[in-house]
């Protein structure tokens, strides 16, 4: 299992997801509705990342480690299909999953 010593690595992983979303938005042809969907999810993820940056929490708990693995796995799925516009719906679902996981992480971090 992936382990890290502090939450800065978790924040970096989320930053990788944000970068991939920016790439997806700017390097694919999307309808205005799809761009809006992607933008809304990206904004939620960005806000959650910022909250995690500001929170001080123990990154080595099982819940944090598991959620981080889920984010990494979902981001890998996006990376495999990022160039395929026909996979956009799948990518949106994956992004929504990542946002949900990270918002759950924020809830866990708020408990510390």
Q: Does residue 92 fall inside a structural domain?
A: yes
Tokens, residue 31: 């309808």
| Number of domains comprising the chain | 1
Q: Does residue 46 fall inside a structural domain?
A: yes
Q: Does residue 2 fall inside a structural domain?
A: no
Closest CA to 82 of 31, 15, 19, 33: 19
Identify whether the C-beta of residue 92 lies closer than 8 Å to the C-beta of residue 37: yes
* pLDDT for res 109: 74
Q: Mean pLDDT over residues 91-102, rounded?
A: 86
CATH of the domain at 51: 1.20.930
Q: Give the C-alpha distances (Å, rounded to integers) separating 37 from 12, 40, 45, 92, 111.
A: 23, 5, 13, 8, 30
Q: Does residue 20 fall inside a structural domain?
A: yes
Name the residue range of residue 89's domain: 7-110
Q: Does residue 11 fall inside a structural domain?
A: yes
Q: Does residue 1 fall inside a structural domain?
A: no
* pLDDT for res 80: 79
Instruction: Identify the burial level of 84 via C-beta atoms within 10 angstroms of its C-beta, where 0-12 means exposed, 13-18 middle and 19 or more buried.
Output: exposed
**Within 13 Å of residue 74, how many CA atoms lie on the same side as its CB?**
24
Say whether pLDDT at 47 is over 90: yes
pTM reported for the whole predicted model: 0.77
């Amino acid at each position: 299992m992936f382990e890290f010593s502090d939450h800065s690595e978790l924040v970096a992983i989320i930053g990788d997801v944000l970068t991939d979303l920016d790439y997806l938005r700017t390097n694919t042809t999307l309808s205005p509705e799809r761009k809006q969907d992607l933008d809304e999810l990206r904004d939620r993820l960005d806000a959650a990342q910022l909250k995690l940056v500001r929170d001080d929490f123990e990154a080595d708990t099982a819940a944090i480690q598991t959620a981080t693995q889920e984010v990494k796995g979902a981001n890998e799925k996006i990376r495999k299909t990022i160039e395929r516009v026909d996979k956009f719906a799948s990518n949106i679902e994956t992004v929504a999953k990542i946002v949900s996981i990270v918002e759950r992480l924020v809830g866990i971090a708020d408990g510390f």
